[in-house]
Amino acid sequence: MSAPSVENVVIVGTGCAGLTAAIYTGRANLSPLVLEGPLPGGQLTTTSEVENFPGFPEGVDGFQLMDNLRKQATKFGTRFEQALVTSVDFTSFPRKLIAGDRTILAKTVIIATGASPRMTGIPGEKELYGGKGVTTCATCDGAFYRKMDVAVIGGGDSAAEEALFLTRFASKVYLVHRRDALRASKIMADRATSHPKIQCVWDSVPVAVEGVKEGAVSGLRVKHVKTNAESVLPVKGIFVAIGHVPNTGPFAPALDTDEGGYFKPAQGSQIQTKIPGVYVAGDCADHVYRQAITAAGMGCAAAIEAERWLAEHHS
């Protein structure tokens, strides 16, 4: 049985970071191999319209944007394979990625596995997620709720930031939190609780998203944790802001991660890991911006660094 071939570049993930890296490494004639996981195209494929990606003044459908990136990457020689990486061995060269009973060998690796928003799991949330009223990104979708009432679920800095951002568009923002005070930093908490458009719904947890039969959010049912009394907030949009879970598990033993599970690049870099020739890009390494355009930028940078590393060490 012949030994498996060694790839110049293996890119794990097909969101904006991964596909941008594929475009750049493909144009460099490196014939990149992209490994697709369970959600080809990443989170943007669940977004009905993207208004803030440069070059699309009328907005662009999220699925269409990712399909365009994939076609562009394919045009430059990118190959795609369905494979879920379960573990890696970066202690020797070439680097090894294990996907089930298969081992993939690579000279350079770009990890762009993204992050998954942490959801509440309440009834109606999944059914109305993505263009139907339930979302996880105010920056992405806030403008769709002009002069409407919306709810934000959460109590940390992210929830406070989401609520404050939504006041630019929404008539009223309910901020639903299970405790009687926000966990957010004092400055963010003070801004949120003092804003005239934000109404804090204290000591309350979400119970269900209303509007499943109609196919669009019509309200958020909440329960008061001290009295068990339930009520419905009459909102058209629900923003879940209880954090993200970076998809870094299979790589975490080999690469450094922070307390939230996000990759920690080598000092002085956003993309270089402690392993030479191994890079990270996008939401798996970025818990600050989490935007399509910043992910694409990181994917571009990782691709250029991988190309340079290959030229210096394996030309």
User: Catalytic residue numbers?
Assistant: 137, 140-141
* Phi-psi group of 55: left, alpha or beta (phi > 0 → left; psi -120 to 50 → alpha; rest → beta): left
CB 211 within 8 A of CB 218: yes
Residues 6+ apart with CB under 8 A from 201: 151, 174, 175, 176, 177, 222, 233
Q: At what angle do helices 292-313 and 16-27 cross, to 10 degrees?
A: 40
Cα–Cα distances in angstroms (integers) from residue 218 to residues 54, 153, 235, 236, in the given order: 32, 16, 6, 5
How far apart (Å, rounded) are the C-alpha atoms in residues 169 and 149? 9
CB 88 within 8 A of CB 95: yes
Q: Which long-range contacts (CB under 8 A, 24 or more apart) does 81-88 make?
A: 81/33, 81/34, 81/35, 81/36, 82/35, 82/36, 83/35, 83/36, 84/35, 84/37, 84/38, 85/12, 85/35, 85/37, 85/250, 85/251, 86/250, 87/250, 87/253, 88/250, 88/251, 88/254
Taking the CA atoms of the chain, what radius of gyration do you get in angstroms? 21
Neighbours of 40 (CB within 10 A): 18
Neighbours of 137 (CB within 10 A): 18
How far apart (Å, rounded) are the C-alpha atoms in residues 139 and 128? 19
Assigned token pair, 140: 């992405």
